[in-house]
Structure 1
Amino acid sequence: MDTITHTLFGIVLYRSINKQDVPPKLRHSFLFTSLVGSQIPDIDVISQFWDTTGQYLMWHRGLTHSLFLVPIWALLLSLVCSLLWRTKDRRIFYLGLLAVFIHDTSDIFNAWGTGYFEPLFNTRLTFGTIPIVDLAVWAIILGAFLFAKLRKQVAAHKVFKAAGCLIAAHFLIQSVQGYAIYQSVEDRYEQVALSASFVPWHYQVIGKRGDVVEISDATVWGDPELVQTLPTATNADLDTLFSQNPAAKTLLQWSPFVVVVDDETRLGIYDPRFFRDGQSFLFEYIEKLPN
């Protein structure tokens, strides 16, 4: 998910806590843990500053997003709270667990995916059933804020717990529909990937068959509609590309499958899940020298 959504998740977590009779210092610890825990796996973005070998695509959302690091992050947050506010409460640790777990797990639902099981497995786990920026989630949280403000007789922590349940239900509904679409087209292609649209219950199916990659719009209530056909040079020799542009080799490892471009001017690969307006923003290539 994007940074704003992760921040909103942290706010929802904090507002879901019944803070009646909770002392101020412990409230500060809860707020810190909710917000920082909802963001801390993305600390890996700093790795781009020392990436000289094109590995950033694998480093970002890699080990820091691993399920196995969730308790480590939670323990670190508890220690920071203990140092800053002298608070020692096991609820801080549990809140940190939940905040980091939500961050890592929500990220596997969009097309970018995460290294959820690193270091045991280096492949990206991705479902592609939720967009990176999900306006439906924003709408649910905005509704919770408005309801809590207008209906003050209802305890705010109950309102935000309900909002959390609605978000979970939204993820479930989106993913069940996405899985049904995936199953319906799986036998048509050698490889298939999903990418959720910004419009709820709408998806793109990206399928590779031979030397062609097809992109189709799909919903559970209709047949997929082909919107783009992309030729891919399956038999192209990519050794020169990888030697001159190491990031291309990383992209090949990171993506479920790629489109290979081998024309008179360029040799490269791109991820078709992010193909918009005639190009993919994940495109690594080299210019060919004129004959």
Structure 2
Amino acid sequence: MTHTLFGVAIYGALKKTDMDVKTKWAFFGASVGSSVIPDIDIQWARAGADYLMSHRGITHSLLMVPVWAGMFSLLAWLFFRVKDRRLFWTAFAGVLLHIVSDWTNAWGTGLLEPFTSRRYAIGIIPNKGYVFWAMAAAIVPFLLLFRGEKQRTRLFRVFWGLAALYAGFQIAHSAYVYADLKKDDFDRVAIRADRYPGGLSYYAKRDLEVVEGRHEIGGASGVVREHRIDPVDVEALMLDPSARSLLLFAPFVVTQDLGDEIRVFDPRFSDRVSMLSVNVPKA
């Protein structure tokens, strides 16, 4: 839904005073279609832990950005007989925004598929786009009040200005927490932003420990949980399909020796998403 909102907002921010009806429809289709097309992979994404690697893979790769953009340029010609180089760049922006926005949340995306299956995530923007929808809701009354094309274009550009300010705030907050943890000699740090500004959870790895903490602007901050990492044979874990998917998906994992089996989990989501915790028999 949020990717669709971004597509509508891209179209709304375009200058359209020189466009006829067919050209407008072509740009609308390119804006919205390009903003959602990477998620076509949910049509074949497999259930369970395999979902981690079958979704947000090659369709979300940077390599596919010009491919998707070229496809929408071709579709604009086939359906509307509109040929305009701006269509390519509009679709390019839509696809790139989808990929970048997925990269900024904690679930991440396969930026460098097919060269590597690793998932990249920085976690500074929450998975759910409630803040962006709140911004959109704030400008809807003005869209109803002002009917002129230039006025509406300005309103959509205001939306993008607000979105940029929000992203900048999230970057600054996350960078502060990241730098503070690095000063404490944590070698790996992962961030998971709250659904609303001002709070985030952090996960930091140092030697054989992982700490989970909170940082809230003007609120409670500090470590809330610690995990001890048991040394295990990672090569053996990679032979288990579910564990392999988890190892490729997570920035780092916690491993626990339970006797007859080894528990592997992503500390960012282990209490919330069952597929991000896997028990592997030692045999």
Q: TM-score band, normalised by the shorter chain?
A: 0.7 to 0.9
Within a 5 Å distance, the mapping from 1:68-107 to structure 2 comes to 68-107=63-102
Per the alignment, in what secondary structure is the counterpart of residue 252 of structure 2?
coil
Given the alignment of the two structures, is residue 138 of structure 1 paired with residue 130 of structure 2, yes or no? no
Structure-2 residue corresponding to 1:14: 11
Structure-2 residue corresponding to 1:125: 120
Unaligned runs of 5+ in 1: none
Q: Give, as a single letter, the amino acid of the residue that structure 2 aligns with 1:116.
A: L
Structure-1 residue corresponding to 2:278: 284
**1:52-79, Cα deviation, whole Å (9 max, x unpaired):** 9x76533422332222321111110111
Given the alignment of the two structures, is residue 179 of structure 1 paired with residue 171 of structure 2, yes or no? no
The Cα shift of 1:211 comes to 3.3
Structure 1 runs (4+) deviating above 6 angstroms are none
Matched residue count: 281
Q: Is the 8 A contact 1:241 1:268 kept in 2?
A: no
Given the alignment of the two structures, is residue 217 of structure 1 paired with residue 236 of structure 2, yes or no? no
Given the alignment of the two structures, is residue 40 of structure 1 paired with residue 34 of structure 2, yes or no? no
1:195 to 182, 192, 196: 192
Q: Is the 8 A contact 2:191 2:203 kept in 1?
A: yes
TM-score under structure 2 normalisation? 0.88
CA distance in 2 between partners of 1:6 and 1:171 (Å): 16
Per the alignment, in what secondary structure is the counterpart of residue 224 of structure 2?
strand
Q: Is the 8 A contact 2:270 2:277 kept in 1?
A: no
CA distance in 2 between partners of 1:82 and 1:227 (Å): 56
CA distance in 1 between partners of 2:279 and 2:123 (Å): 25
CA distance in 2 between partners of 1:98 and 1:240 (Å): 42
Q: Is the 8 A contact 1:274 1:282 kept in 2?
A: yes
Q: Give, as a single letter, the amino acid of the residue that structure 1 aligns with 2:251.
A: P
**1:168-217, Cα deviation, whole Å (9 max, x unpaired):** 22111111210111001113323211111112121111012343321100
**1:235-259, Cα deviation, whole Å (9 max, x unpaired):** 133555443x312112112211101
CA distance in 1 between partners of 2:171 and 2:258 (Å): 38
Q: Give, as a single letter, the amino acid of the residue that structure 1 aligns with 2:160.
A: G
Q: Is the 8 A contact 1:181 1:219 kept in 2?
A: no
Determine what percentage of the aligned residue pairs are the same residue.
33
Structure-2 residue corresponding to 1:273: 268
CA 1:146/1:288 → structure 2, altered by over 3 Å: closer, same or farther?
A: farther
Within a 5 Å distance, the mapping from 1:146-157 to structure 2 comes to 146-152=141-147, 155-157=151-153
CA distance in 2 between partners of 1:214 and 1:92 (Å): 47
Q: Give, as a single letter, the amino acid of the residue that structure 2 aligns with 1:111.
A: A
TM-score under structure 1 normalisation? 0.86
Per the alignment, in what secondary structure is the counterpart of residue 164 of structure 2?
helix
CA distance in 2 between partners of 1:47 and 1:79 (Å): 25
1:25 to 22, 26, 34: 22
Q: Is the 8 A contact 1:212 1:230 kept in 2?
A: yes
Q: Is the 8 A contact 1:47 1:56 kept in 2?
A: no
Unaligned runs of 5+ in 2: none
Q: Give, as a single letter, the amino acid of the residue that structure 2 aligns with 1:285.
A: N
CA 1:264/1:140 → structure 2, altered by over 3 Å: closer, same or farther?
A: same
CA distance in 2 between partners of 1:214 and 1:83 (Å): 55
Per the alignment, in what secondary structure is the counterpart of residue 242 of structure 2?
helix
2:161 to 158, 162, 165: 165
Given the alignment of the two structures, is residue 205 of structure 1 paired with residue 199 of structure 2, yes or no? no
Q: CA RMSD in A?
A: 2.6
Q: Is the 8 A contact 2:119 2:248 kept in 1?
A: no
CA 1:91/1:238 → structure 2, altered by over 3 Å: closer, same or farther?
A: closer
The Cα shift of 1:43 comes to 1.9
Q: Give, as a single letter, the amino acid of the residue that structure 2 aligns with 1:44.
A: D
2:53 to 52, 55, 58: 58
Q: Is the 8 A contact 1:241 1:285 kept in 2?
A: no
